[in-house]
C-alpha cells in the first residue's frame, strides 16, 4: 500500500512540476465547453465555439493566469556569453600499455615432480557399533 502511495505522490509531483496539470485542466475545460455547445449546435459549430479565443470560460481564464504566473517565476534563460554547466560524467577510457614483447613469459618447468613412493594408506578402522 505504501509503495502505491509513494508512486502516486511522485506522479502527482511530476505532473505539477512539468506543468502537465495545467494541460489537463485545459483539456477538461475544452471538453466541458464542447459538450455544452454540442447540445444546442452542430459538432462543427461547437468545435468553432469551443476554440474561439474571444470566448474563454472561467477554467480557461484560470489556466491562462496560472501559465502567466508560472512564466513570471521561471528562471531566466542563459545569456549567450554565460557558461553552461555540464552535468554528465564520463569516465576516461582506461590506458593499456603493452610491452615490447608480444609473447607469454617463460615458466620454470612444465612437468610436475613425481612422488618417489606410493601414497600410504591408513589402517582400516574397527567397527565400534
Q: What is the mean pLDDT of residues 62-82?
A: 80
* 39-53: average pLDDT: 91
The answer, yes or no, to whether residue 129 has pLDDT greater than 60, is: no
Query: Model's pTM, two decimal places?
Result: 0.50
Q: To the nearest whole percent, how much of the chain has pLDDT over 90?
A: 32
pLDDT at 5 exceeding the cut of 70: yes
- Residue with the bigger pLDDT between 107 and 54: it is 54
Give the three-state DSSP class for 96. Answer: coil
Cβ proximity of 3 and 11 under 8 Å: no
List the alpha helices (DSSP H) in the chain.
Answer: 2-18, 20-38, 43-50, 58-73
Quote the percentage of the chain above a pLDDT of 70: 81
pLDDT class of 65 with cuts at 50, 70, 90: very high
pLDDT band with cut points at 50, 70 and 90 for residue 63:
very high
Hey, where are the domains in the chain? 19-73
Residues 18 and 38 sit within 8 Å (Cβ to Cβ) = no
User: Is-contact 35 4, C-beta < 8 A?
Assistant: no
Question: Do 15 and 21 meet the contact criterion of CB atoms below 8 Å apart?
Answer: yes
Query: pLDDT (tens digit, 9 = 90+) per residue, 110-121?
Result: 666 677 778 788
Nearest to 49 by CA among 36, 63, 62: 36
CA distance 17 to 48: 31
Amino acid at each position: 500500500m505504501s509503495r502505491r502511495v509513494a508512486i502516486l505522490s511522485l506522479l502527482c509531483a511530476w505532473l505539477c512540476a512539468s506543468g502537465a496539470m495545467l494541460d489537463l485542466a485545459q483539456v477538461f475545460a475544452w471538453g466541458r465547453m464542447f459538450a455544452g455547445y454540442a447540445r444546442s449546435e452542430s459538432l462543427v459549430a461547437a468545435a468553432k465555439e469551443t476554440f474561439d479565443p474571444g470566448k474563454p470560460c472561467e477554467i480557461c481564464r484560470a489556466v491562462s493566469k496560472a501559465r502567466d504566473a508560472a512564466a513570471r517565476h521561471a528562471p531566466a534563460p542563459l545569456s549567450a556569453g554565460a557558461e553552461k554547466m555540464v552535468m554528465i560524467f564520463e569516465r576516461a577510457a582506461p590506458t593499456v600499455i603493452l610491452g615490447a614483447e608480444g609473447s607469454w613469459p617463460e615458466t620454470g618447468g612444465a612437468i610436475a615432480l613425481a612422488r618417489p613412493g606410493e601414497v600410504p594408506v591408513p589402517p582400516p578402522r574397527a567397527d565400534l557399533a
